[in-house]
Chain A
Amino acid sequence: MPRLIFILPLLLFGTIAAYFAVGLTKDPRILPSALIDKPAPEFKLPALHDGGSGLAKSDLGGEVKLVNVFASWCAPCKVEHPVLMLFSERNIAPLYGINYKDKKADATAWLKQLGDPYQRIGQDLSGRAGIDWGVYGVPETYVIDREGRIRYRHVGPVLPETLENTILPLIEELKK
C-alpha cells in the first residue's frame, strides 16, 4: 500500500500529459456554438437580389437546411464557394445564404462571377443578425434540422472533406 504513493506522481503526470496531448490537437480558434441544439435565433433580413427572397427565422425548419454566412470581401469564402456550388447542384438540401456586412454591388458581382448556389440570400448590412447567430468569423455554415434547430456549426471554409465526412452524413441522419 505505501508503495502505491510512488506511482502517484507518474499517474498525475500521465493524466496531465494526456490532457495536453488531446488539447494540443485542437484548434483554439474554433469555438463551439452556444446555439447547438437550440432554435435558430429570431432574425429577418431583406433579400440581397432585387425581387429575390430574403431570409428570416420563419424560412427555416420544415426540412433540413444549410445556412451559410459569406461575404465577397472574405477570402476563405472564395475557397469554399466551389464546394457550395457542388452541394447546390446535387440537390441534397436547400442552401440559404447570409451576406454578412457586405456591399450589395460587391456581393452581387461576386455571385455573378462565381455562380450563385443559394436559394435565398438575406442581406445583413449591420452584422446584427450575425451577432444573433453567434458569428465571429466568416465563412460559417450551419445545419438546421426540420424543427428549425441549429444542429451543427462549421467555422471556416467548407472543404470537400468537411462536406463529405461531416455535413452530408449529418444531413442524411437528420432526414431520417
Chain B
Amino acid sequence: MRALFLCLAILLAPMTEANAVLPDEVLADPLLEKRARALSKNIRCLVCQNQSIDDSNADLARDLRILVRERLVVGDSDSAVLDYLIVRYGDFIMLKPPFKGSTYILWFGPLIVFVLAIIGLTIFFRRRRVQMAEVGDTSPRLSSEERDRLARLLDKDEGPA
C-alpha cells in the first residue's frame, strides 16, 4: 500500500506547477490569493521576459507579486491592478497582448493569411479545371500496337515460378 502511494506521489509530482511564490508572499484570504495567482500568470517578468512573475524568482518579479497582492488587498479590481502596471511598464508587461487597434494585425494576421491562402488555392484549382476542360483530356493513350504488345507480355509472363 505504501509503495502504491509512493508511486502515485512520484507520478504526480511533475504535475504540480513550478512557481516562485514564496510562503511569506501568500495572502491569508484564499480568494484574493487565487486572484493574485491568476493575475500573476499573465504578468511578464521584465527581467526574464518570457516568464510570468508567478514563475520567476527574479527580485523584480517578487516585488511585483507583492505589489499585485497589495493592490488587491486595498480593493483594486483585476483590471485596475493591470492598469496600474501598464501605466508604468507599458503593454509589454502583459504576457498576452491586449486586444486593441494597434494589435489587430497581431490577432487577425494569421486569420487573414489563412483566408488569403484559401482564396488563392480556390482560384488556382478553379483555373486549372477550366484550362483542363478547354484543352480536353490529352493524357497519352496507348496505340493499338502498344496495347497488343502489352497483352502479349502479360500473357507470357506468369510471374516468377
Contact = CB atoms under 8 A, between A and B. Distances in A.
Interface in A108-127: 126-127
Interface string A21-48: 0000000110111110000010000000
A158 B19 CA distance: 35
Interface residues of B, number: 14
B60 A127 contact: yes
Contacts of A101: 59
Contact of B63 (A29, A31, A131, A134): A131
A35 B49 contact: no
B87 interface: yes
Given A29-B49, A31-B46, A131-B67, A136 B60 contact: yes
A34 B60 contact: no
B90 A134 contact: yes
B114 interface: no
B89 A136 contact: yes
A79 B148 CA distance: 90
Contact of A131 (B47, B49, B64): B64
Interface string B89-127: 110100000000000000000000000000000000000
Nearest to A38: B87
A109 B46 CA distance: 29
Nearest to A136: B46
A33 B92 CA distance: 10
A136 B90 contact: no
Nearest to B64: A131
A14 interface: no
Nearest to B89: A134
A96 interface: no
Nearest to B92: A31
Given A101-B59, A131-B63, A131-B64, A137 B90 contact: no
Of B59, B60, B64, B88, most buried by chain A (CB within 10 Å of CB) is: B88
B86 interface: yes
Interface string B74-86: 0000000000001
Contact of B89 (A29, A34, A127): A34
Contacts of A29: 49
Of A31, A32, A41, most buried by chain B (CB within 10 Å of CB) is: A31
A132 interface: yes
A133 interface: yes
B93 to A, nearest CB: 8
Nearest to B85: A131
A33 B46 CA distance: 12
A132 to B, nearest CB: 6
5 contacts: A28-B49, A127-B63, A128-B63, A131-B63, A133-B88
Interface of B: 46-47, 49, 59-60, 63-64, 67, 86-90, 92
6 tightest CB-CB pairs across the interface, nearest first?
A: A34-B90, A136-B46, A134-B88, A134-B89, A127-B63, A34-B89
Interface of A: 28-29, 31-35, 41, 101, 126-128, 131-134, 136-137
